[in-house]
Each structure stands twice: as structure tokens, then as C-alpha cells.
Structure 1
Amino acid sequence: MGKVIAVCTSPAKGTQKTEAEEGIFIEEFGIEGDAHAGKWHRQVSLLSYDKIEEFRKKGADVENGSFGENLVVKGIDFSSLSVGTRLYCNDVILEMTQIGKECHHGCAIFRKMGDCIMPREGVFARVIRGGRIKAGDEMTVG
């Protein structure tokens, strides 16, 4: 079981996301108001809080949302799960569709640190059932 540490959104692609009070997850679309929402397989991005903390210990000055992630969750190692895994949080059901991604050129984190964890630790999901998620909510793997 995991705990949601942050919900982050951004109005434009290619920008750092900022923390929101809560996310409204729309079935087969994504998070209301987030630039990555749409009818595709990468509606929501997730990153493990524990992996972010490991990266911070290497000297990275990163905030929640710095990697473009929508959900920061403590206690779940997303990269160890497989595509098709379902994640449950309140009424929301997410289904993992992709593990990792190619880092876009000019990534500020990679330029500064010589590394970025999103390509190997970040995962993507589509919204199977909508609802609301906020920091402090519990997430389970099914």
C-alpha cells in the first residue's frame, strides 16, 4: 500500500508541474486541467516518492512535479510493476500503460545532474474510473 504525497498538474506540456490541492480524474481522459490529459495511453504519470528522495540525496534540488509527474506516491516502487497493473485510490482506478520514457532534449534536471530518474522510474497510466485524489490518500496495487 502507498500514500499519495502530492498531486501535480500543469497547463502546458514540457513544463514543470505544480502541486494542486486535489486532482479530478476523468475516465479515459486524465486529470482535469492537466496538459497531458487526452484520449491516449499516457493520461497520468506517476513517480515513487522514495525514488525522488534517493535522487535528492545525490544533491538534486527537485520539488514535487519537477519531473513532470502527476502523482508522487510513497511506498510503491512503480518501476517494479508491469504494464497492465491496476492502481486503486478512492474511487479512481488507473491502469499502467508504459514504464519509463525517453527524456526530452534540454531537460533541466539532466543538464544539472547528468541524470534524470523519470526515464527509468516514471510510469504512465490511463484512467479506467474517475474520481478525486488528494495528498494523504492511500493507493493500493491490484
Structure 2
Amino acid sequence: MAGQIIQVSISKGGVPKLAIQEAWAGPLGLDGDVQRNLKYHGGPRKAILLISLEDLEGLQAEGFAVSPGALGENLTVQGIDFRQLREGQRFRAGDAVLELTQLRQPCKTLEVYNSGEPGKIQRAVYQKDGIPGSAKWARCGFYASVVQPGRICTGAIIALVDQKV
């Protein structure tokens, strides 16, 4: 399982996160990236958020005005089927190694994409009783911890290096 990092993104808090060419990934995430609400975001188990470009394109087709970085992801990834992602999988992303830790649940910050219909995008990307492999599994992204710090850049390969045991 391998793909490509289409965009590396950071922000000073909130969405959208903006594209940068490269960043250092450390235990608390990408250098220069800030999370506004540390009660729900950030920390070593939620250091980096990954989202599929294919899922963003699906949301665009459903009428949502989203693009890479819009949902607050740090890495927008192309070519990996997010329905196959599971906690504990490890990926080499550029020079860093990331371990998937938990599905991302949509928060109120994403309300800006609802076009006046509260909860619309949340329903499009998440189902509370998500079943691995289902159509909405990981559609809102997957959080990862940084197991091995390193540089991550746009265009880098992201590849599975270790399956969940």
C-alpha cells in the first residue's frame, strides 16, 4: 500500500490549513502547525492528520467547497485506499515514520462547509458506528503519531511499512 503526499499543510489554528513545501515532523506534529483547541486536537497521539485526496474529490462532487488543507489535515494523500487503514499501521512519509492512532471525528470547525445546513458535512464524512471498510470509514481522516521524526515534503512517497499486529 503506497501513495503520494499531494500537499503538506499547517495553520496558526483552525481551517483551512495552508500548503507549504516541506516540514519537520516531530512528536507533537509538524513544525509551525498550531491547534486551536488542545482538548480535542494535537498531542502525541494526534500529531498529524491524514486525509485522502480521493475523499476530498468525492466531497467536492457532493457539492462541498473543500480542497487540500480544508478539513484541517496536515497531509493530503493520493493513491491509498483509506477504507483499508487501521490503527497501528505504520507508514513511511518522506523521512518520517507515522503510526495510525485513531479515526478523526469531525468537529464544529467544519461547520464552515455546511452551506447553511448544520451538520451536513459531518454526516457526509462520519458515521458514529463506523465499520472498518465501510464507505465512510476514515473519510474524515486518520490521526497519526510520529514514531520516527523526519522531514516530510510535497511529492514524497507514503508507504505502508508495518501492518497492525
TM range (shorter): 0.7 to 0.9
1:60-75 alignment to 2 at 5 Å? 60-75=64-79
User: Is residue 127 from structure 1 mapped to residue 133 from structure 2 by the alignment?
Assistant: no
Question: Does the CA-based 8 Å contact 1:44-1:125 persist in structure 2?
Answer: yes
Q: Which has the larger radius of gyration?
A: 2
- Offset of residue 59 of structure 1: 2.1
Q: Which runs of 5+ in 1 are unaligned?
A: none
Q: Secondary structure at the match of 1:115?
A: helix
- Offset of residue 80 of structure 1: 2.5
Distance 2:75 2:45 in 1: 16
Distance 1:106 1:25 in 2: 24
Q: Name 2:38's counterpart in structure 1.
A: none
Q: Name 2:12's counterpart in structure 1.
A: 11
Question: Does the CA-based 8 Å contact 1:103-1:118 persist in structure 2?
Answer: no
Distance 1:110 1:79 in 2: 24
Q: Name 1:82's counterpart in structure 2.
A: 86
TM (norm. structure 1) is 0.87
Q: Give the 3 Å change call, closer, same or farther, for CA 105–140 of structure 1 in structure 2.
A: closer
Distance 2:67 2:99 in 1: 25
Q: Name 1:100's counterpart in structure 2.
A: 104
Distance 2:114 2:105 in 1: 14
- Offset of residue 106 of structure 1: 6.3
Q: Give the 3 Å change call, closer, same or farther, for CA 140–64 of structure 1 in structure 2.
A: same
How many residue pairs match? The answer is 140
- Offset of residue 67 of structure 1: 0.3
Distance 2:125 2:93 in 1: 22
When structure 1 is superposed on structure 2, of 126-135 and 77-86 the one drifting more is: 77-86
Q: Name 1:35's counterpart in structure 2.
A: 34
Question: What amino acid sits opposite 1:57 in the alignment?
Answer: A
Q: Give the 3 Å change call, closer, same or farther, for CA 133–80 of structure 1 in structure 2.
A: same
- Offset of residue 108 of structure 1: 0.8
C-alpha RMSD of the superposition: 2.1
| 2:52 alignment partner, one of 48, 51, 60 | 48
Q: Which runs of 5+ in 2 are unaligned?
A: 36-40, 127-137
Question: Does the CA-based 8 Å contact 1:5-1:72 persist in structure 2?
Answer: yes
Identity of matched residues, %: 30
Q: Name 1:138's counterpart in structure 2.
A: 157
Distance 2:125 2:91 in 1: 19
Q: Secondary structure at the match of 2:121?
A: coil
When structure 1 is superposed on structure 2, of 129-138 and 44-53 the one drifting more is: 129-138
Q: Name 1:59's counterpart in structure 2.
A: 63
Distance 1:55 1:106 in 2: 13
